[in-house]
């Protein structure tokens, strides 16, 4: 390297020293003591000849303790190490050296500043080793040591943060990939529309439907379905492409891609906003399958309705046409009974009695059958019916019909108001109450009516304390002409409960019974709070 500058070694240059002394060495040593870096000089023979104050404070070794010794004597661990090698190369060959903190952690055993003591055992150092040519052609070696602990700490932090950031990026990428995979593999087509009317397919299915291979009209249809963006509204698409009434909330459209089968789609639209802009997410679900099922159901329903109405027609016609000959048989047997009772022998009187009784029962059965067929055929439109009032009218009817023990028909609490046909509901409860009384002890028989509310329905109970019904008959009692007992025991045509069931079904509800034989039965009529759409008055 360059020879040491004459000013620093030439005594003449310092003759004008302000304090009048001539001791340049002392002045420079003092100057070096003010430096914020460590400074060591090593003479040709390898011994330390300068040790500044910084070195003293950071090593806790005074110049007195180190001057004249080899560095390896002062710090035995540096023997054979990089620092010693570099000093040797410097003294021998005049080679300078950089000793970096990363490759030589704590090259010299120096204390870190107190603020770093917690995370660093040693000061991190950046060392420069420099040859200095002396005037007598020798070589000195100078070591300059900088404290870079702070930089190392920052570097560690930087690395740590960089690693964390990289991990974060990896994670984000992974979860993004997952989200994309989910989106791509969703069966539904998903598109996003921004408020400028631009519609972008987000997954493969959407691309298939709205892309170049798809339905050219579909984007326009979607645009038409989206709330107005304030611009001119898009033209209304062809009528046959929108399958459902827009008022119902369920939107179904037909996608017609060239060369492919037409696909009915259900459209769902949701929205979100980012960056102050509004976006719509459009989900298109292929409902071909559902549509097929719906058509199947529709067909079955129509078929069912048709056969049902035929049956009712038949029942009505049969019972109506049977009435005429029956009335004739009935009138003449009654005539026989009135005119000839007591004039023939006892056996004849008995036969006539049976004939009269038989025709009367047949008359009742035909009446009931007619009633049953009329439940469907002659239903009235539904209105709100307050069951409490209806029940009170019912009790009055019973009183009018004949003497009944006081308090044998009881209403417990208020009954709900339901939607239905008032006259049919009256018939329903009349049948249930009379049924309850019929199978009870005429003296102590009691029928109670009460109700309860569930989230979706009202239940009205008709409970008696009669003979009860065994469980095996709980279903069959509602069938036409089903009787559990002989005619002699309990009167009735076996049609009453069938009429009840039909009325309840017309109201979209259900009729069931629970019973303990010997203790009584509880009939439960359940009315839905919302009437199912399928049950329309016309269809019955």
Partner 1 sequence: MIELSELEHDTISELINIGVGRAASSLSEMVDQPVELTVPRITFVERFSDTDLAKAPTEIVSAVSQTFDGPFKGEAMLVFPEERSLELVRSLLKVDVPLEALTDLEQEALMEVGNIILNACLGSISNVLGEPINCSMPSFRKRESRSLLDQDGDEHDAGKKPVLMILHVQFMLRQNDIDGYVLFVMDMNSIQMLRELVRRFLVKSFG
In sequence order, what are the residues at sequence separation of 6 or more whose Cβ sits closer than 8 angstroms to the Cβ of residue 74? 48, 61, 65, 66
Q: Tell which one of 67, 166, 246, 401 touches partner 1 (CB under 8 A).
A: 166
Return the CA Rg of the chain: 54
Closest approach of partner 1 to the CB of residue 4, in Å: 13
CA dihedral 429, 430, 432, 434 (to 10 degrees): 160
- Decide whether 71 or 97 has the Cβ nearer to partner 1: 97
Binding piece for partner 1, criterion CB under 8 A, among 24-32, 163-171, 390-398, 415-423:
163-171
Site membership for partner 1, residue 31 (CB under 8 A)? no
Give 304's contacts (C-beta < 8 A, 6+ positions apart): none
DSSP 18: T
Residue 63 as a binder of partner 1 (CB under 8 A): the answer is no
Which lies closer to partner 1 via its Cβ, residue 105 or residue 198?
A: 105
The residue from 7, 8, 115, 163 that contacts partner 1 (CB under 8 A) is: 163
Output the smallest distance, CB 81 to partner 1, in A.
8
Pick the closer one to partner 1 by CB: 71 or 251: 71
| Interface map 77-116 toward partner 1 (x if CB under 8 A) | -----x--x---x---xxxxxxxxxxxx------------
Gap between the Cα atoms of 515 and 468, Å rounded: 6
Which candidate, 368, 389, 375, places its Cα nearest to that of 323?
368
Query: Judged by CB, which is closer to partner 1: 162, or 328?
Result: 162
CB of 99 to partner 1, least distance (A): 6
First vs last Cα of the chain: how many Å apart? Answer: 114
Residue 243 Cβ vs partner 1, minimum distance, rounded to whole Å: 54
Element of type H or E holding 244:
none
The residue range among 127-135, 283-291, 461-469, 474-482 that interacts with partner 1, by the rule CB under 8 A, is 127-135
DSSP state of 70: B
Residue 41 binds to partner 1 (criterion: CB under 8 A):
no
Query: Vertex 471, ends 486 and 448: CA angle to 5°?
Result: 80
Task: Name which of 126 and 465 has its Cβ closer to partner 1.
Answer: 126
CB-nearer residue toward partner 1: 140 or 352: 140
Say if residues 38 and 48 touch (Cβ distance below 8 Å): no
How many of the chain's residues bind partner 1 (CB under 8 A)?
A: 30
State in angstroms the smallest separation of the CB of 108 from partner 1: 15
Q: Given the DSSP bridges, would you call strands 409-411 and 447-453 parallel, antiparallel or unpaired?
A: parallel
- Report the distance separating Cα 413 and Cα 340, nearest Å: 55
Region from 146-154, 209-217, 359-367, 484-492 binding partner 1, contact rule CB under 8 A = 146-154
Coil, helix or strand at residue 147: strand
Dist. CA 384–CA 46, nearest whole Å: 115
Judged by the rule CB under 8 A, the positions of this chain that interact with partner 1 are: 1, 82, 85, 89, 93-104, 126, 128, 130-131, 148, 151-152, 155, 158-159, 162-163, 165-166
């Amino acid at each position: 390297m360059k020879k040491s500058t004459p000013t620093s070694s030439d005594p003449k240059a310092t003759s004008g020293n302000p304090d009048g002394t001539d001791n340049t060495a002392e002045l420079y040593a003092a100057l070096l003591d003010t430096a914020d870096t460590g400074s060591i000089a090593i003479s040709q023979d390898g011994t330390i000849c300068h040790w500044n104050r910084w070195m003293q404070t950071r090593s806790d070794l005074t110049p007195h303790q180190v001057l004249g010794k080899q560095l390896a004597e002062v710090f035995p661990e540096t023997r054979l190490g990089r620092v010693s090698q570099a000093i040797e190369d410097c003294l021998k060959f005049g080679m300078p050296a950089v000793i970096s903190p990363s490759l030589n952690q704590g090259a010299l055993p120096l204390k870190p500043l107190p603020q770093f003591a917690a995370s660093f055992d040693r000061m991190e150092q950046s060392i420069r080793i420099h040859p200095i040519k002396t005037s007598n052609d020798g070589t000195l070696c100078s070591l300059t040591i900088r404290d870079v602990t702070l930089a190392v700490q920052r570097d560690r932090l930087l690395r740590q943060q960089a690693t964390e950031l990289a991990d974060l990026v990896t994670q984000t990428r992974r979860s993004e990939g997952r989200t994309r995979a989910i989106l791509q593999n969703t069966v539904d087509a998903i598109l996003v529309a921004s408020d400028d009317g631009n519609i972008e397919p987000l997954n493969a299915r959407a691309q298939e439907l709205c892309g170049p291979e798809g339905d050219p009209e579909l984007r326009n249809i979607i645009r038409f379905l989206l709330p107005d963006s304030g611009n001119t509204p898009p033209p209304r698409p062809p009528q046959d492409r929108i399958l459902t009434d827009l008022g119902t909330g369920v939107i179904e459209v037909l996608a017609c891609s060239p060369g492919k089968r037409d696909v009915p789609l259900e459209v769902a639209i949701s929205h979100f906003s980012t960056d102050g802009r509004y976006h719509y997410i459009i989900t298109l679900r292929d409902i071909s399958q559902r549509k097929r099922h719906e058509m199947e159901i529709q067909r079955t329903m129509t078929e069912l309705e048709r056969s049902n109405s035929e049956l009712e027609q038949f029942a009505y016609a049969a019972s109506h046409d049977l009435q005429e000959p029956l009335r004739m048989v009935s009138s003449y047997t009654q005539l026989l009974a009135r005119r000839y009772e007591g004039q023939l022998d006892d056996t004849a009187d008995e036969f006539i009695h049976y004939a009269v009784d038989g025709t009367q029962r047949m008359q009742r059965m035909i009446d009931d059958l007619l009633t049953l067929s009329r439940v469907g055929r002659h239903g009235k439109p539904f209105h709100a019916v307050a069951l409490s009032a209806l029940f009170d009218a019912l009790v009055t009817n019973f009183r009018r019909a004949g003497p009944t023990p006081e308090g044998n028909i009881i209403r417990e609490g208020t009954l709900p108001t339901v939607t239905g046909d008032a006259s049919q509901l009256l018939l329903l409860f009349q049948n249930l109450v009379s049924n309850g009384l019929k199978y009870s002890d005429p003296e102590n028989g009691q029928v109670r009516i009460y109700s309860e509310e569930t989230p979706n329905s009202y239940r009205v109970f008709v409970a008696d304390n009669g003979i009860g019904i065994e469980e095996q008959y709980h279903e069959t009692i509602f069938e036409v002409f089903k009787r559990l007992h002989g005619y002699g025991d309990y009167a009735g045509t076996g049609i009453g409960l069938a009429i009840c069931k039909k009325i309840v079904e017309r109201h979209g509800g259900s009729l069931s019974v629970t019973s303990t034989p010997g203790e009584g039965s509880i009939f439960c009529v359940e009315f839905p709070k919302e009437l199912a759409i399928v049950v329309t008055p016309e269809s019955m």
